[in-house]
Structure 1
Amino acid sequence: MKVFDILAEQRILDAQRRGEFDGLPGAGRPLDLADDLLVPPELRMMNHILRNAGAAPAEIGMRREIAALRAEIAATPSGTVRDELRRRLAWLIVQLGERSRDA
């Protein structure tokens, strides 16, 4: 462990002992990371923090839109509207794949 990691961990533990984290919104509840199923586990917490700060990466918005489109497609009967939704979904998936590849 690096010196800064040890110091940070010690300060966090001290703050916990003093009760500085008591009463925070969501305290005692598990984080909802279900919308990040396509994100590697080591990046989920970072994305969660960024999203809460209003600075989520574009990929998060794209993943949400993909999930919403999939639900909409499932609820839409066959036809022109469904075909257009499927084209939009395919385009988003390709765009997301290109972003992942470029990163």
Structure 2
Amino acid sequence: MSFEHIIEEKIKQSIRDGDFDHLPGKGRPLPKDELGYVPDELRNSYRILKNANMLPEEMQLKKEIVEIEELVHTIQDPEQKEAYRRQLTEKKIRFDMLMEKRKISQSSAFRQYGGKINRRFGI
């Protein structure tokens, strides 16, 4: 008797016993996985980082880019504005280099997920 067969029998027995009758959300569709568009090889890593309230380096950079862009729009002092623009350019270059190094930008799954990230950050 295989392990899979034992598991299947346990599930069937639990259904017969009514163990699943009062579960929260019964009869409703499962919630969508917000990491569904992340490539399979990255999904578990991203989920672990998310649960630990950590962002992957590329997402942290993207977040910093958005924050600096917002600052640039609000700053009146030309010298200070130029300093933030230089910082913004450096972060964008670093982000692009990181994406190229990881070859993530070539993944169709990342392009789909990247759009979701951009919308979340308001880009």
The correspondence for 1:19, drawn from 15, 19, 23, is: 23
Query: What RMSD in Å do the two structures reach over aligned CA positions?
Result: 3.7
Task: Give the distance between the partners of 2:80 and 2:32, measured in 1 at CA.
Answer: 38
**Superposition map of 1:20-99 within 5 A:** 42-43=37-38, 46=43, 47=46, 50-99=49-98
Superposition TM-score, scaled by structure 1 size: 0.55
Q: Which secondary structure state, in structure 1, belongs to the residue aligned with residue 73 of structure 2?
A: helix
Q: Give deviations 1:44-103, integer Å, cap 9, x for gaps.
A: 9x4466323233211111111000000000001151100000000000000000000000
Aligned-residue sequence identity (percent) comes to 15
5+ unaligned residues in a row in structure 2: which ranges? Answer: 1-6, 26-30, 103-123
Q: Name the larger-Rg structure.
A: 2
5+ unaligned residues in a row in structure 1: which ranges? Answer: 1-6, 22-28, 34-40
Task: Give the distance between the partners of 1:72 and 1:30, measured in 2 at CA.
Answer: 34
Question: How many aligned positions are there?
Answer: 76
Q: 1:48 to 1:67 in 2, by over 3 A?
A: farther
Superposition TM-score, scaled by structure 2 size: 0.47
Q: Which secondary structure state, in structure 2, belongs to the residue aligned with residue 54 of structure 1?
A: coil
